[in-house]
Amino acid sequence: QGLKLAVRPVAASHRPHAPPRPIAREMAIAAARPIRIGTDCSGMEAPVMAIRNLKVAHKHVFSCDIDKNSKKTIEANYDHDIFYDDLCKRDNKAAPKVDLYVAGFPCQPFSSAGKQQGFADERGRGTVFWSVRDYIDCKQPKVFILENVVGLTTIQGGQYYKDIKQSLLDLGTYNLYDKILNTKDHGVP
C-alpha cells in the first residue's frame, strides 16, 4: 500500500474543498505544448513510463536519484535533459521549472517494516522530503505528486504525515488531495 498526494494550484474560483477533477486530463487539455515533467527520487522512472504509455505529449526535463543503479536504468531507457545525482545538494533555484513534478521520497524512515525513525532517520533519509518541498516552493510546478508508504500516515500517530501535509498547505498555492492506494487494486501484485 502506498500514499499518493496530488495537488493543483489554488484558483480564485476554487473552493478549498471542491471535489478534485481528473488532473491528467485537465493538464493534457490545457497543454499547448508537451507537458514538462521532472522527477526526484526517480527510481526506475515509473511516472515517465506511465506518461509515455498513455501517449501524453511530454518533455522529460530532469530525473534525480542517488542510487547508481537507478541512474544506469534511467540513462539507458529515458531521454531526459538533466540527471541530478543528489536532490539534497541541488540548487533548486537554478533547477529547471516543470509542469508536473513527481517525487517518491525515501520510505524506509516511515515504513512499519523499518525502524520508524521518521525525520530523525540515522541515515538522513527522513529529511529528504524537505528538499522535495524546497523544489516545489522555488519552482511552483502546476501539479505535483508525492508518493510514500502508508506507514507515513500511521507511525507516531500520523504526526509525520500531518507535518508534511501542513508544510505543503503553508505554501499557500495549492489545493491538496490525498489518497491511500493499494497496488493490488491496480494490477500490481
| Active-site residue identified among 41, 64, 88, 107 | 107
pLDDT at 188: 75
Q: Which of 104, 87, 110 is nearest to 147 (CA)?
A: 104
Residue 64 annotated as catalytic? no
Q: Model's pTM, two decimal places?
A: 0.80
pLDDT at 12: 43
Beta bridge partners of 7: 176
pLDDT digits (tens, 9 = 90+) for 80-100: 999 999 999 999 999 999 999
The rounded distance, in Å, linking the Cα atoms of 179 and 115 is 24
Handedness of CA 107, 113, 119, 124 (dihedral sign): negative
Residue 87, C-alpha cell as written in the block: 536532490
Cβ–Cβ < 8 Å for 38, 96: yes
- Whether residue 20 is predicted with pLDDT greater than 50 in this model: the reply is yes
- Measured between alpha carbons, how far apart are the two ends of the chain, in Å? 11
pLDDT at 28: 53
Band (15; pLDDT cuts 50, 70, 90): very low
User: Which has more confidence, 15 or 69?
Assistant: 69
Lowest average pLDDT, out of 31-40, 90-99, 150-159, goes to 150-159
- Whether residue 13 is predicted with pLDDT greater than 50 in this model: the reply is no
pLDDT at 119: 66
One-letter amino acid at 81 equals: D
Q: What is the DSSP string of the chain?
A: -EEEEEEEE--TT--TTPPPP-HHHHHHHH-SSPEEEEEES-TT-HHHHHHHHTT--EEEEEEE-S-HHHHHHHHHH---SEEES-GGGS-TTTSPP-SEEEE----GGG-TTS---GGG-TTSGGGHHHHHHHHHHHH--SEEEEEEEGGGGTGGGGHHHHHHHHHHHTTSSEEEEEEEE-GGGGT--
Work out the mean pLDDT of the chain and round it to a whole number.
82
- Taking residue 27's Cβ as centre, other Cβ atoms within 10 Å add up to 17
